[in-house]
Amino acid sequence: MKDALMLFAVFLACAGNGFSQNASAALVSPEVHADRTVTFRIAAPKASDVTFKGDWHDDTKRMEKGPDGIWSITVGPLAPSTYIYGFTVDGVAIADPVNPRIKLRARTSGSLVEVPAAAPSLQEPRDVPHGAVEINWQKSSVLGGETRAIWIYTPPGYTEETSRRYPVLYLLHGNNDRPAGWVDVGNLNFIADNLIAERRMVPMVMVMPFGHALPYGERGQPPRTNTTVFEAYLLQDVMPFAEGKYRIAAGRELHAVAGMSMGAEQSLEIFFNHLDRFGSAGAMSPAGFRAIETDHAALLADPKGTNAKIDVLWIGCGRQDPGHFSGSQQLADVLAAHQIRHTWRPTDGMHNYALWRDQLVEFLPLLFQPATAQAQRM
């Protein structure tokens, strides 16, 4: 119902700017060209200002209005990937009205455009065995009885190998996102399917809950912040539910937590609070983790003991991400200064799924590898 209301709101916004069904039928948007440039269009004949924003650049671009009332812009060439974009029509931010590929968020929505590669990459569907993604619903005891969706990926062979138990990764999304983002834009399931088919990744269950434990936009005040409430929700509701319904193996060394942006910071907090429950963690584009020097000073002061509990601690960020790179670098510097074993991966990239898909390809194969864990303890 929420999705239908959101799309109806988009329609009303466009109708107020002279949008018509006839104009909609004639429009093609987005149009991906052979040279990987892309043309975006929107019919808004009564609008006076229309701008375009894609998640592969920082600035907003003004679109050009044609005599038929159709605004357009051509950008690129773009590297093969899936991107998020949207329009602002006379101050109203909307998704592309004629593009059915919608990126839903905690608030507002965007549209998706795929620029394909010449051959399917690890991030795209290939002719390999596929896992499944299920949407589960749970009434949360921590969140006052609220019913929430939990997205769960099971690897190829899960339904056939009924005696097998699997390691688990709890994968967290970013601010103003939803767990669906990891599948709709992150291509998590295809990445995992392809890595498993190439025997580069241990088959695992991946659990994706909704990370806004407080209403979106509320960060709260200590001790009740969005992160602290979410931590309780994950440990007391999500984990017992997932591990009761799915064949998840026991043991901290077979449990990992990771995320991007807000979810990266939640993952780090949960990981360092519960080294008895998680052996590995990944932080993709965190803004930083300042609490580590105050709240976890004892762990930093005992690198030998702390390192014995860490199988994988992976941190990555794009250099073109000004809001998060410096904090990620500072976190890596603190860990290095205290001799806490970790991997720090600065790369070119922005704060978007194009980067996080690449990071998944690197991070997932590191998890639950006995040889890797043994090597890191040496």
Identify the architecture of domain 132-377 in CATH: 3-Layer(aba) Sandwich (3.40)
Mean pLDDT score of the chain:
91
- Give the whole-angstrom CA distance, residue 48 versus residue 40: 18
Query: Could you give the 3-state DSSP secondary structure of residue 82?
Result: strand
Which CATH number is 2-115 given? Answer: 2.60.40.10
> What does 124-139 look like in DSSP terms, one character per residue?
S--SS---EEEEEEEE
Encode pLDDT of 102-130 as tens digits. Answer: 999 988 899 999 999 888 889 999 999 99
pLDDT (mean) for 52-60: 92
pLDDT at residue 371 tops 60: no
- pLDDT one-digit tens code per residue, 322-359: 999 999 999 999 999 999 999 999 999 999 999 999 99
Outline where 308-352 has alpha helix (H).
325-337
Residue 221 — very low, low, confident or very high, per pLDDT cuts 50/70/90?
confident
Which pairing describes strands 224-225 and 255-260: parallel, antiparallel, or unpaired?
A: unpaired
Q: What is d(CA 212, CA 325) in angstroms, rounded to the nearest whole number?
A: 23
pTM: 0.89
Given a contact cutoff of 8 angstroms between Cβ atoms, the answer to whether 319 and 346 are in contact is yes
Residues 157-202 pLDDT 10s: 999 999 999 999 999 999 999 999 999 999 999 999 999 999 999 9
Beta-bridge partner residues of 51: 62, 88
The fraction of the chain above a pLDDT of 90, given in percent, is 83
Read off the pLDDT band of 23 (50, 70, 90). Answer: low
Q: What is the rounded average pLDDT of the residues 192-214?
A: 97
Give the separation between CA 298 and CA 143, rounded to whole angstroms.
Answer: 31
Extents of the domains making up the chain? 2-115, 132-377
Residues present in the chain in total: 378
